[in-house]
């Protein structure tokens, strides 16, 4: 895992944006860009609401192709898992079709997680709208129902439902309000920790693998969408026009690019592309940090937006 300290992340000026990094061919247009992942070859996968729902790019931004037209209306969360034999798979969440699925990198469906078997909570499938997914080192799958009933669900690697926790309510009662993103982390001792971006409570919640609540972290956040770990730091897309870096206590230590205020515009997030800030953001939704310390950001805007921020010497 990249340690962002090695790239001067504390100094925002040490990163420069490549706004034209993604080179889309004529006739290919993306929609709301929601998720990011990278495979072992360095290819970048962008999950977005278009018929090119899983858009694939080389490390230099050249467009490779796409798959996933069936996700055009519901593309949201994305994660890549590398199994013990080296095989890589993409896990995706679909907020329109109320499901989570596992795919090969070229799109073949391998596993589907449907609505959790909790009829007392999910009377109809429409109540289940999963926003993110993560996979533990042992293969367990964690799903955040961020637009539905605000639960975190745990499944075995075979897709068998194991348990659920959270639910609607006050932060003081250990409940969640729009658990939009999650990050699953394994330690050298074999322990798994699940971090949840509890967006409307403006905080992050740390759980053990079995759902035991360990800690909650508040701080200088407005609408934190997600988080990714990178060494001693987390990179966090805050929907209100900024991307920040936080330490392990979730204290903000750096901001990527310029301070954003477009979220205060009455048109937000429908800001015309001509007004998008070159060194800033409209509505960051997901981030990814590659092995060289470059930071990729995708945004919740109608046309989709992908920027790559590279560390400067």
Q: What pLDDT, in 10s, does the model give residues 276-292?
A: 999 999 999 999 999 88
26 burial level (CB within 10 Å; 0-12, 13-18, 19+): exposed
Specify whether the CB–CB gap between 232 and 271 falls below 8 A. Answer: no
Looking at CATH, the fold of the domain delimited by 4-311 is given as Neuraminidase (2.120.10)
Residue 46 tokens, joined: 């962008």
pLDDT at 1: 39
Sequence ranges of the domains in the chain: 4-311
Q: What is the pLDDT of residues 36-60, one digit of tens each?
A: 999 999 999 999 999 999 999 999 9
Sheet with 228-230: strands ordered across: 228-230, 233-238, 242-246, 252-256
pTM (two decimals): 0.95
Question: How far apart are alpha carbons 192 and 208 in whole angstroms?
Answer: 6
**Residue 29 carries which DSSP code?**
-
Total number of residues shown for the chain: 313
Q: What is the DSSP letter of 219?
A: -
CA 53/CA 92 separation, integer angstroms = 10
> For residue 272, what are its two tokens?
């015309």
pLDDT at 8: 45
Rounded (to 5) percent helix, strand, coil in the chain: 10, 45, 50
Whole-angstrom Cα distance, residue 267 to residue 52? 26
* Residue 254 to residues 34, 220, 234, 237, 290, Cα–Cα distance (Å): 23, 11, 11, 12, 18
Task: Say if CB 296 and CB 288 are below 8 A apart.
Answer: yes
Q: Which residues have a Cβ under 8 Å from the Cβ of 160 and sit 6 or more positions away?
A: none
> How does pLDDT run across 222-239, given as a tens digit for each residue?
999 999 999 889 999 999
Closest by alpha carbon to 225, among 196, 265, 194, 197? Answer: 197
| φ, ψ for residue 159, nearest 5 deg | 90, 5
Spatial contact of 128 and 143, defined as CB atoms under 8 Å apart: no
What does the block give as tokens for 137? 């080192």
Report the SS3 class of residue 264: helix
Q: Tell me how crowded residue 79 is: count the other CB atoms within 10 A of its CB.
A: 24
Omega before 269 cis (within 30°)?
yes
List the chain residues with pLDDT less than 70.
1-13, 188, 313
pLDDT of residue 6: 53
């Amino acid at each position: 895992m990249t340690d962002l300290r090695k790239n001067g992340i504390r100094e925002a000026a040490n990163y420069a944006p490549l706004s034209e990094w993604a080179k889309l061919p004529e006739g290919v247009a993306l929609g709301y860009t929601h998720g990011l992942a990278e495979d072992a070859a360095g290819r970048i996968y962008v999950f977005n609401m278009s018929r090119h729902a899983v858009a694939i790019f080389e490390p230099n931004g050249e467009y490779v192709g796409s798959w996933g037209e069936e996700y055009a209306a519901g593309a949201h969360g994305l994660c890549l898992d590398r199994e013990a034999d080296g095989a890589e798979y993409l896990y995706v969440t679909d907020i329109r079709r109320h499901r989570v699925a596992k795919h090969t990198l070229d799109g073949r469906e391998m596993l589907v997680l449907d609505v959790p078997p909790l009829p007392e909570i999910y009377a109809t499938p429409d109540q289940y709208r999963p926003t993110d997914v993560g996979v533990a080192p042992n293969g367990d799958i964690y799903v955040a129902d961020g637009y539905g009933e605000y639960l975190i669900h745990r499944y075995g690697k075979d897709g068998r439902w194991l348990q659920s926790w959270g639910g609607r309510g006050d932060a003081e009662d250990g409940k969640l309000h729009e658990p939009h993103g999650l990050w699953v982390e394994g330690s050298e001792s074999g322990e798994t920790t699940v971090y949840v971006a509890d967006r409307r409570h403006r905080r992050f919640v740390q759980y053990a693998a079995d759902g035991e609540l360990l800690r909650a972290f508040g701080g200088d956040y407005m609408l934190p969408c997600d988080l990714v770990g990178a060494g001693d730091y987390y990179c966090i897309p805050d929907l209100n026009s900024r991307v920040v870096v936080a330490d392990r206590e979730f204290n903000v230590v750096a901001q990527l690019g310029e301070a954003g205020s477009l979220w205060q515009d009455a048109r937000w997030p429908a800001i015309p592309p001509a007004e998008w800030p070159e060194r800033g953001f409209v509505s960051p939704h997901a981030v990814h940090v590659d092995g060289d310390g470059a930071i990729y950001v995708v945004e919740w805007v109608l046309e989709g937006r992908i920027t790559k921020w590279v560390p400067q010497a």
